[in-house]
Amino acid sequence: MKNMMKSKRYALLLATALTVTTVLAGCGGGKSAGNVAAGDSGAGSTGDPGKQVTISHYTIDSEDRTFIEKLIPDFEKAHPNIKVKVEKAPYEQFDSKLQTLIAGGNSPDVTSHYGYGGFAEYYNKDMLLDLTDLIKEDGFKAEDYNIPENLMKIYTVNGHTYGIPVNMYVTLMLYNKDMFDAAGVSYPPSDYEDKNWTFDRMVEDAKKMTLVSDDIAKTQYGVDFTWAERDMRPLYFGAEPYSEDTWTNGGVPSETHFDSPEVIAAYHKLFDLVFKDKVSPTSEWSKSVAGQNGDPFVAGKIGMSIGGSWNLAGANDFPFKVGVAAVPWGGNDKVRSTLYVDPLLILKDSKHPKEAFEWIKYLMTTEVQEKSIELSGGNPPVNTEAAEVYYKHFDGIDPEDVKKVYEGAVKYGYESYNHLITNYSQINDMFINELQPVETGHKTLEEVMPVIQKKVTEIIKR
């Protein structure tokens, strides 16, 4: 009896809840959920010439990403039927907001993989619009925008193009000229063809600059080689942890080799910098010196630092003289630099893909790409003509060096795994967690790598 009453109450409650939801949902007045902007009545992709449509560009809320707002007025003048609205989120919340926007039927039209997740993740979640037909219809040619053909290939899967590259970051070496001068070591070369510039020579140079003292203020290290994502690092020594087919089938590797002797040996070489040669700081030291997000190099405590070319953008603020150099040769004749090519993507749920593509093309023109360098505070363009302006952007750094390093990096570069492998944010988190005890010296690589191998396999199958 009591149970029945309870279930009756439950039914009543459910009914009330349902009514409330329907009534509230009805308030939308039948307008489509996606159309937030006024004056947008869902003209669709047919591109009614007289009708005005609003497209939204979703990006990270930081100056080097939101500069596109300043490009909108000129674009709207040239395309009176298209309005562009910029939607923003802080870096940490970028992915979750995007997922919610799409799930909530409010999908933006244009974005990039600026969060933790990469292209392959978007592709495998079926979030992206296949641009092939749009490109054909429009007659878009990469060469008209000075985009190198090999960069276009990165975001092409099985002959279908899903993204147009817009910015290209490479891996390079920044070095502290003051520290080199003090130790009497000659500057490293910016030329990738210089065969003397090897990993071992880098270690020798680093030894001369390393000074470990009880006084933490006096301690300094020769090199910081936290190069690229953790699973990417073996590649530099010629060991390949993911099977070949990963790059042709949308980022799902059929096999991984994280417990192979080659991969383990490669990691050993890197950890030797910290624990054997002692020319690199431990992660605890780095954190205590530079804070959670900081970089001990910026604090002037590191001689050479391998990192993304975005580090250049801060170079004007460094409290010391800085130079750029090539990443030394580590044993892989083909790959020495990680490339981070950011594409512009149109999302599958976009209601105005044609207009979105117009906007993308506008952002790719040489003139706009050149303007973007200044507006963004130094974002490297993929447009090779605009790149000439980029090379000259940094005070106190020889443009010739920047150019050499960039061109060498493209020649010896490989697109970052984080854009190319599926479920990458989970793989990355797992790597950070599992390698932590090795970085602090509490576990050996031989203990950890089989575990990583097992976990990677599980994550990829998800």
Partner 1 sequence: MSTVKATRPLGPASRPRRRIKPVKIASFTALLLTTFLMLLPLFFMVSTSLKSKREMLKFPPTFLPESWAWSNYTDIFETLQFGTLYKNSLIIAGFSVFGTLLSSALVAYGFARYRGRGNNFWFILLLSTMMLPYPAIMIPQFVLFSKMQWIDTFLPLIVPAFFGSAYNIFLLRQFFSTLPEELFDAGRMDGCGELRMWRTIALPLSAPALATVAIFAFIYSWNDLLTPVLYLSSSDKFTLPVGMASLTSSRFRIPPWHLLMVASVLAMVPIVTLFAIAQKQFVEGIVLTGIK
Using CB under 8 A, list all residues that contact partner 1.
Answer: 6, 9, 13, 21, 24-25, 27-29, 31, 33, 36, 56, 60-66, 85-93, 96-97, 100, 103-106, 216-217, 289-291, 293-296, 298-301, 308, 310-311, 313-314, 317-319, 377-379
Residue with tokens 């279930």: 7
Toward partner 1, which CB reaches closer, 149 or 317? 317
Closest contact distance (angstroms) between CB of 40 and partner 1 is 12
Say if CB 373 and CB 390 are below 8 A apart.
yes
Choice between 36 and 78, CB closer to partner 1: 36
Considering the complex, what minimum distance in angstroms separates the CB of residue 164 from partner 1? 21
Q: How far is the CB of 94 from partner 1 (least distance, A)?
A: 9
Closest distance of CB 421 from partner 1, Å: 19
CB of 296 to partner 1, least distance (A): 8
Q: Which is nearer to partner 1, 11 or 204 (CB)?
A: 11
Q: Can you name the residues that pair with 53 across neighbouring β-strands? A: 82
- Cα torsion 260, 231, 155, 411 to 10°: value is -90
Least Å from the CB of residue 121 to partner 1:
18
Q: Give the closest residue to 39 by CA, choosing from 49, 57, 54, 50.
A: 54
Q: Which CB, 92 or 138, lies closer to partner 1?
A: 92
Nearer to partner 1, 248 or 293 (CB): 293
Of 31 and 334, the one with the shorter C-beta distance to partner 1 is 31
Q: Among residues 89 and 327, whose Cβ is nearest to partner 1?
A: 89
**Calpha distance 247→245 (Å, rounded):** 5
Closest separation between CB of residue 134 and partner 1, Å?
25
Q: Which residues contact 121 (CB under 8 A, 6 or more apart)?
A: 113, 251, 422, 423, 424, 425
If the CB atoms of residues 190 and 379 are measured against partner 1, the closer one turns out to be 379
Nearest approach in angstroms of CB 358 to partner 1 is: 21
Closer residue to partner 1 in complex, CB, 101/410:
101
- Shortest CB 75 distance to partner 1, Å: 18
Shortest Cβ 143–partner 1 spacing (Å):
28
Q: Tell how strand 322-325 and strand 171-176 pair up.
A: antiparallel
Nearer to partner 1, 137 or 374 (CB): 374
CB of 12 to partner 1, least distance (A): 10
Question: Quick one: 308 or 330, whose CB is closer to partner 1?
Answer: 308
